[in-house]
């Protein structure tokens, strides 16, 4: 019998496998299409959620991933002696953005400058919402859908709470103000990428919900990613690439 914690872990494992299986577009006659449909049907029984809808399967088969060579070139920018990758699969409050800042600050205390540190943040699964601008957050009510509250924690966010936050928005006990906005982290050299397969699945889910064209929604999302956020074929692909480039792994929770 599977307990609740095992159920959640198993569901996430299946979701990750779906990401990996769908990384590259296939021709119409590809046998992998049949495999994906069977796989997703099985995933549905295990609670894989957004990836189990027929509309999601159709979208995943239809839309191509970003240019792999471009994403590979992006990873060559990871530099420094001390390298780490933060894996953001879900909204986890301030942690996906606090940990990169703490990593940089801690290295500073041991004599390592920001130039000595390479930091990559992989936004995948429902963590992909953080890659999108305020216009999309307001239009698609991401705060409600992903259960992400505003910086005060009082209501669903209508804007991306970690894009250009006002000074003093985030504070740590005994620490004071902490600069953990995505733009602030980027200014410190932190690199952000987003899973294309998550964007594909999520845009298809919203299209089904709103009775709209999934391809139109996905294009709108890609056109409105935050500045400097790199689309990658899949989140698990990026997790692998980051480690190939010498980054230690850290689950951002």
CA atoms within 13 A on the CB side of 113: 2
Task: Please give the model's pTM, rounded to 2 decimal places.
Answer: 0.79
Is the confidence at residue 100, as pLDDT, over 90? Answer: yes
CA distance linking residue 91 with residue 156, whole number of Å: 13
Cα distance between residue 235 and residue 56, in whole Å: 17
Report, as an integer, the average pLDDT of 163-168: 96
pLDDT score, position 153? 84
What mean pLDDT do residues 164-168 have? 95
Mean pLDDT across 100-110: 96
The 3 state secondary structure assigned to the chain is: CCCHHHHHHHHHHHHHHHHHHCCCCCCCCCHHHHHHHHHHHHHHHCCCHHHHCHHHHHHHHHCCCCCHHHHHHHHCCCCCCEEEEEEECCCCCCHHHHHHHHHHHHHHHCCCCHHHEEEEEEECHHHHHHHECHHHHHHHCHHHHHCCECCCCCCECCCCCCCCCCCCCCEECCCEECCCCHHHHHHCCCEEEEEHHHHHHHHHHHHHHHCCCHHHHHHHHHHCECCCCEEECCHHHHHHHHHHCCCEEEECC
Reported as a pLDDT band with limits 50, 70 and 90, residue 81 is very high
Give the per-residue pLDDT at 5: 43
**Exposure on the CB side of residue 137, measured as CA atoms within 13 A:** 23
Q: What is the pLDDT of residue 63?
A: 59
Handedness of CA 138, 125, 72, 193 (dihedral sign): positive
Among 79, 186, 72, 168, which Cα is nearest to 130's?
Answer: 186
Q: What is the pLDDT of residue 172?
A: 87
CATH 3.40.1260.10 spans which residues of the chain?
69-251
More confident position, 36 or 147? 147
Q: Write down the pLDDT at residue 66.
A: 66
pLDDT band at 95 (very low <50, low <70, confident <90, very high): very high
In the numeric block, the tokens 């299946």 are attached to 14
Tokens of 227: 């500045």
Residue 80 pLDDT greater than 60, yes or no = yes
Q: What's the confidence (pLDDT) of residue 152?
A: 86
User: What is the average pLDDT across 173-188?
Assistant: 95
- With a cut of 90, say whether residue 253 has pLDDT above it: no
| Predicted confidence (pLDDT) at residue 22 exceeds the cutoff of 90 | no
State the first-to-last Cα distance of the chain, in angstroms, to the nearest integer: 27
pLDDT of residue 2: 36
Position with higher pLDDT, 69 vs 179: 179
> Residue 212 pLDDT > 80, yes or no?
yes
Tens digits of per-residue pLDDT, 31-77? Answer: 444 444 544 444 444 444 555 566 566 655 665 566 678 999 999 99
* Token pair recorded at residue 190: 């932190």
Pick the residue with more confidence: 154 or 5?
Answer: 154
Mean pLDDT (the chain, rounded): 83
> Which pLDDT score, from 0 to 100, does residue 217 have?
96
Question: Which CATH fold would you assign to the domain 69-251?
Answer: Hypothetical Protein Ychn; Chain: A, (3.40.1260)
Please compute, for residue 230, the number of CA atoms within 13 A of its CA located in the half-sphere on the CB side. 26
């Amino acid at each position: 019998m599977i307990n609740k914690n095992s159920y959640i872990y198993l569901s996430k494992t299946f979701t990750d496998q779906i990401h990996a299986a769908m990384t590259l577009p296939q021709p119409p006659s590809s046998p992998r299409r049949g495999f994906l449909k069977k796989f997703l049907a099985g995933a549905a029984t295990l609670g894989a959620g957004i990836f189990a809808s027929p509309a999601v399967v159709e979208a995943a088969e239809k839309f191509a991933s970003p240019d792999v060579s471009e994403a590979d070139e992006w990873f060559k920018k990871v530099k420094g002696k001390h390298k780490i990758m933060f894996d953001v699969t879900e909204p986890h409050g301030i942690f996906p953005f606090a940990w990169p800042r703490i990593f940089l600050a801690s290295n500073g205390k041991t004599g390592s400058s920001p130039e000595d540190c390479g930091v990559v943040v992989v936004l995948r699964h429902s963590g992909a919402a953080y890659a999108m601008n305020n216009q999309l957050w307001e239009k698609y009510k991401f705060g409600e859908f992903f259960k992400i509250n505003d910086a005060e924690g009082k209501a669903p966010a209508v804007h991306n709470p970690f894009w250009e936050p006002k000074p003093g928005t985030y504070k740590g006990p005994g620490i004071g103000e902490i600069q953990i906005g995505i733009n602030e982290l980027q200014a410190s050299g932190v690199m952000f990428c987003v899973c294309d397969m998550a964007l594909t699945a999520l845009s298809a889910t919203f299209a089904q919900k709103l009775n709209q064209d999934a391809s139109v929604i996905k294009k709108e999302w890609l056109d409105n990613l935050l500045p400097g956020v790199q689309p990658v074929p899949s989140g698990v692909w990026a997790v692998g690439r980051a480690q190939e480039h010498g980054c230690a792994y850290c689950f951002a929770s």
